[in-house]
Chains A and B, each alone.
Chain A
Amino acid sequence: MFKYVKYEMKGTMKFLIGAIILALGASTGIQLFIKREAGNTLVGGMTVESDIIAFLLLVLGFILIGSLIGAMVYLISSYRKELYEDRGYLTFALPLSGGQLLGSKLLVALFWGTVMGLVIVIYNLILVQVIMGYNFFDDIWSIIKQIDNLGFLLTGSIITSLMESAVTLLLVYFAITVSRVSIKSRKIGSLWFLLFIILASVITYIQELIAKLMPMYLDLSTMGIIGQREAYIMGIDSQFGGTLSIQGVVSIPGLLFQILLIVGAFFATAYMLDKKIDIV
């Protein structure tokens, strides 16, 4: 599988590094613009008004989300091209199982998503310090200092975020593959997006229902299980499903449902790639 990861990385690298550079360039331009426009609100060039910080965070959020969406659209279209374009003649003739192909695509997409997110966030935090003279790292550090068992929380957060991304990507791959198997026309095959929206909505509904019916949570900061009463005291939304909540807890049934989804979507898609996809 890692042999194919190597070529998937090579094939996507140029576009995605370009996208990262573009996002960093846009961040720099926007921060310089804000600094110039808001120059008179700076006190001694060392502190920044809170509304400017809020605006900066908003802009950073837009750049981050925009870049991640752009990257995912590109990576998803790379999967779709395997099923609809001539390159599929090479990919599907390689001695690779459907699972290996799918696993490679998934790993590369998760890798780029993580790299892109980290690079853009860290670059912008440094940039705020350099351009605005405001140290976000101090704020982050003061929050971190208050957290017990940071290791658990950090590991748990990374795992749950990756799981959430994996579920979304696998649902997209599943929807594209089902569309390809059942509809031969490329144009009508674009309806995979509709199928994805329906699947994602149904799954979110089920996940929330499960969380509501079985209110059992895992507190990542203590790795302890908490029930409905403690959850209520902590202010956890009873509809809350498998992902990490702001309080650092995950719904245990929601998490199990998410694991089942990952396994199910992966094997169903891999099976279709092996046994059902016709490269025509």
Chain B
Amino acid sequence: MENIVEIRGLTKRYNRTEALKNIDLDVEMGKVVGILGPNGSGKTTLIKLLTGLLHPNSGEIKIDGHSPGVHTKSVISYLPDRNALYSWMTVKDALGMYKDFYEDFDEKKSEDLLQFMKLDKDMKVSNMSKGMKEKLNLALVLSRKAKIYILDEPIAGVDPVARDQILDAIIENYAEDSAMIITTHLVRDMENIFDKVVFLGDGEIMLSGDAEDLREEKNMQIDELYKEIFG
């Protein structure tokens, strides 16, 4: 399988603090990669570098053969770790924006996902609860037929019912001809989704590999391995 993401020697600093230190990472097409690590480990920094929201101090990122920019933004479907939809928007406006900006947006799929998430098109974003906003953002992201999906902490801070809905939506809507990168520190809830896991701590890759191989090799679940590494 070809690599949709190739990262070489990636370093990112905030003033004097090194958030990422010389990271190398490949993501193959068709795989779901879990970036696992505690808060402050550099997960969101890595995601933001991939989505072009941050710029690296050194190193190289190639997504679909391009450096982060207009092209890569058109092939990435990104779920940030917070609601970024404009406060004046209704659900209908948000759908319209995705439809206008992304050629791969599937309107039918968005209708189905909104129904599944029990979201009304006339609802205003600013009147929604945190869980509802999370579900709306996920519905928008999964309604695209993107080459790469990047989900930053998709289940953090939502109630167990919403969490199950979100996980079901991710599993059911994941397409084989794309790749998915998910960051989380809630490993137990998500570990069955991952084909590959990357343990990130203090801006460095502590361990990475095929999820199944690691389970067999270490004779433990990914969640237990996470606790062993970061505990």
Residues of chain A touching chain B, judged by Cβ–Cβ distance below 8 Å, are 3, 6-7, 10-11, 14, 86-97, 184, 274-280
Contact = CB atoms under 8 A, between A and B. Distances in A.
The 10 closest A-B pairs by CB, nearest first: A89-B84, A90-B84, A95-B74, A279-B53, A95-B73, A89-B80, A3-B100, A278-B54, A95-B70, A93-B78
B69 A86 contact: no
Given A95-B101, A184-B15, A11 B86 contact: yes
Given A87-B84, A94-B101, A280-B48, 18 more contacts: A3-B101, A6-B100, A7-B86, A7-B93, A11-B88, A86-B80, A87-B87, A90-B85, A93-B52, A93-B78, A95-B71, A95-B73, A96-B70, A184-B15, A275-B55, A277-B55, A278-B53, A280-B14
B123 interface: no
B84 A280 contact: no
Contacts of B84: 86-91, 93
B156 interface: no
Contacts of B101: 3, 94-96
Contacts of A94: 73, 101
B73 to A, nearest CB: 4
Interface in B83-105: 83-88, 93, 97, 100-102
Contacts of A279: 48, 53-54
20 contacts: A3-B101, A7-B86, A10-B93, A87-B84, A87-B87, A88-B84, A89-B84, A93-B52, A93-B53, A93-B84, A94-B101, A95-B70, A95-B74, A95-B101, A96-B70, A97-B69, A97-B70, A184-B15, A276-B55, A279-B54
A14 B54 contact: no
Contacts of B188: none
Contacts of A276: 55
B183 interface: no
Nearest to A13: B88
Residue in A3, A92, A274 with the greatest tally of chain B CB atoms within 10 Å: A92
Contacts of B184: none
Contacts of A89: 53, 80, 82, 84
Contacts of A184: 14-15
B100 A278 contact: no
A3 B71 CA distance: 16
A94 B73 CA distance: 6
Contacts of A280: 14, 48, 54
Contacts of B82: 86, 89
B229 to A, nearest CB: 27
B196 to A, nearest CB: 24
A94 B52 CA distance: 10
Contact of B69 (A3, A7, A90, A274): A274
A93 B51 contact: yes
Contact of B80 (A11, A93, A96, A275): A93
Contacts of B73: 93-96
B53 A92 contact: yes
Nearest to B77: A93
Given A3-B101, A89-B80, A95-B73, A14 B88 contact: yes
Interface string B9-26: 000001100000000000
A6 B76 CA distance: 22
Contacts of A275: 55
Residue in B69, B93, B97 with the greatest tally of chain A CB atoms within 10 Å: B97
Nearest to B51: A93
Nearest to B45: A280
A206 B71 CA distance: 40
Contacts of B100: 3, 6-7
B88 A10 contact: yes
Nearest to A275: B55
Nearest to B53: A279
Nearest to A97: B70
